[in-house]
Amino acid sequence: MKRTRWAIATATLLLTTALVGCGDQSSGGSDDPPAADGTDGTYGTDATDRLPEPDDGFGWVSWRDVAVQVPTAWGHAYEPGGDWCAGYDPDDDPPVPEPYYDLDPASGAELAIGCQETGEDRPEEFGPAPEALWATHVVLEPDDGSEDRTLTDGGWTLAIRSVGDVRVRALAAQGDADLVDQIVASARRFSVDHNGCEPTSPVQAAEFVRPEPHDITGVGEADSISVCQYSRTLGPADPALMGSWRAEGADAAALLAGLQGAPPGTGPDRPKNCVDDYFGDTAITLRVHVGDETHEVYAYYDWCFGNGTDDGVQRRELTSETCAPLFVGPVRIVQYSSHLRGICDSA
């Protein structure tokens, strides 16, 4: 079950979106976690240059500097939080939620409503939502310093592991305990993820920055384009990758054409709607791969000024060909100025 929520931040006239997926939690007894890779249970904390090929039927998903393998049929969604009761009627028979992955649940919008406790007795690790809204899923989120552990309750298995500064939390329904073990055992740090994105980028700086100059209009054809989204609320050297995907074939060609054909300048902007000493929370690095070369284009989209793409030679305005197509899967529009609606989303 997924829903789209909109919240308006009045002071800045920002529009915030978030997909809410039906999450799951679990509870009960504790077992000592098995060691991954047959070693000491550190779950691959050494960063590697490239991620290995995933197991059959699985693919990588990455957040900050950690990646895990999940079934390729899984999509991105948000597990239910404190507003789980919005749109939920206990007298209805809710649909069975599909499995999913969630990258940092705290980054999604949450309605300011008070949902009553479910009355279901379970450890707090399993969250506030009733079991009817649970689904098999995995979450990557900031590590809280707690111990690795495995909890079971009512046929559900919840495994929690720390990998570097990231916590991996995987929940599986009855019969899928082996899947939980497989997911958490696959977790590892990386230097370049499966889509060609690095854990850090200069674009995560608090202020607007420009990439190394390379005229994007001189690129005849791109082999692929890595779309790498970063948080700008962390330190400039901290792993800040929020999500990634890779455009290939017709998608890469269309995105490249849009970047090349966008009008020079910045915008659309409405600087009067925002304070002038803040520059937004997220940004995207586009890594354009051409043969053995990679050229970067930065995309800014979530503030009232400075919006646009930049190849280091020419700044260009955002268009519906260069903004909305960027947001696929885990790369999501978190907030943007309301006048960009229809440019940075499909509305």
Q: What is the pLDDT of residue 96?
A: 72
Helix (H, G, I), strand (E, B) or coil at 221: coil
Structure confidence by residue, pLDDT tens digits, 211-268: 999 999 999 999 999 999 999 999 999 999 999 999 999 999 999 999 999 999 999 9
Give the torsion sign (CA, 309, 321, 106, 28): negative
Q: What is the pLDDT of residue 82?
A: 76
Calculate the alpha carbon distances from 301 to 60, 174, 186, 311 in Å.
26, 42, 34, 15
State yes or no: pLDDT of 303 exceeds 60.
yes
Tokens 């939980």 sit at which residue? 180
Residue 16 parent element (H or E): strand 14-21
Q: What is the pLDDT of residue 108?
A: 62
- Which residues, listed in sequence order, are joined to residue 161 by a DSSP beta bridge? 168
Mean pLDDT of 123-130: 81
Are 8 and 84 contacting, i.e. CB atoms less than 8 angstroms apart? no
Q: What are residue 293's phi and psi, to 5 degrees?
A: -105, 150
- Separate counts of helices (H) and strands (E) for the chain: 2, 20
Are 222 and 196 contacting, i.e. CB atoms less than 8 angstroms apart? no
Terminal Cα-to-Cα distance of the chain (whole angstroms): 21
Structure confidence by residue, pLDDT tens digits, 167-181: 999 999 888 889 989
In this structure, the number of other CB atoms found within 10 A of the CB of residue 115 comes to: 17
Structure confidence by residue, pLDDT tens digits, 262-286: 999 999 999 988 888 899 999 999 9
Q: How confident is the model at residue 27 (pLDDT cuts 50, 70, 90)?
A: very low
Q: What is the pLDDT of residue 122?
A: 78
State yes or no: pLDDT of 148 exceeds 60.
yes
| CA 335 – CA 288 distance, rounded (Å) | 25
Chain-centre distance of CA 163, in angstroms?
17
pTM of the model: 0.84
Both tokens of 213, joined, read: 């100059």
Both tokens of 242, joined, read: 């929020």
Nearest to 153 by CA among 262, 326, 30: 30
Are 187 and 101 contacting, i.e. CB atoms less than 8 angstroms apart? no
Are 85 and 127 contacting, i.e. CB atoms less than 8 angstroms apart? no
